[in-house]
């Protein structure tokens, strides 16, 4: 069954292997960099406070569900066995989530000082910081909507202003030459 999956998805497996190999190579210098334990702990607190890795929480369950569906479509009679087996194997991989947390903490430790990370954790751990995390995306979406309305108005006003100014300049030039302007811009 695994070899069948491999042959069927060979391109996907090769691409994934290259990505993982590349990530391993890119992460090697980061792993070699010495980070003080207190700096790493500050980074872990900061990423927990800002929920930096929450977006990755659904990866394993989603991947397991996709695999169940794919394998069950091939042999619906085995769907119960497939489902149990995929669930068992997925549960074996749950502890690896901690590896991601550690790597993200190392990344943040490279980009921010220990003091900055402690300040982030303090702010985003406060009620105001938590509210920013909760309400920030909605506020940003509304801000983008306001920007769209604003930019449309500014673009229209710019076009109208330029049209009027060009017409005035062309008419002033035509009055000097006693020839009517060939074009009118502001209508």
Tens of pLDDT, residue by residue over 58-112, are: 999 999 999 999 999 999 999 999 999 999 999 999 999 999 999 999 999 999 9
State whether residue 98 is helix, strand or coil: helix
CA–CA dist 147, 167 (Å, integer): 30
d(CA 177, CA 171) in angstroms, rounded, equals: 10
Average pLDDT over residues 8-20: 40
DSSP conformational letter for 94: G
Of the candidates 115, 106, 113, 117, the one whose C-alpha atom is nearest the C-alpha of residue 34 is: 106
pTM over 0.85: no
Q: What is the dihedral of CA 95, 96, 97, 101, to 10 degrees?
A: 120
| Count of Cβ atoms closer than 10 Å to residue 86 Cβ | 20
């Amino acid at each position: 069954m695994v070899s069948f999956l491999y042959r069927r998805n060979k391109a996907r497996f090769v691409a994934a292997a290259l990505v993982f190999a590349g990530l391993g190579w890119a992460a090697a210098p980061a792993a070699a960099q010495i980070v003080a334990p207190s700096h790493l702990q500050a980074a872990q607190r900061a990423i927990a406070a800002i929920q930096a890795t929450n977006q990755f929480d659904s990866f394993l369950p989603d991947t397991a569900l996709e695999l169940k569906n794919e394998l069950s479509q091939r042999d619906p009679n085995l769907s119960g066995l497939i489902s149990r087996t995929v669930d068992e194997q997925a549960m074996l991989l749950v502890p690896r989530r901690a590896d991601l947390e550690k790597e993200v903490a190392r990344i943040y430790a490279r980009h921010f000082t220990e003091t900055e990370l402690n300040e982030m954790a303090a702010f985003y751990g406060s009620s105001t910081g938590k509210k920013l995390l909760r309400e920030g995306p909605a506020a940003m979406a509304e801000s983008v909507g306001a920007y769209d309305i604003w930019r449309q108005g500014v673009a229209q006003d710019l076009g109208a202003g330029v049209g009027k100014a060009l017409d005035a300049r062309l008419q002033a030039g035509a009055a000097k030459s006693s020839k009517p302007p060939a074009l009118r811009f502001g209508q």
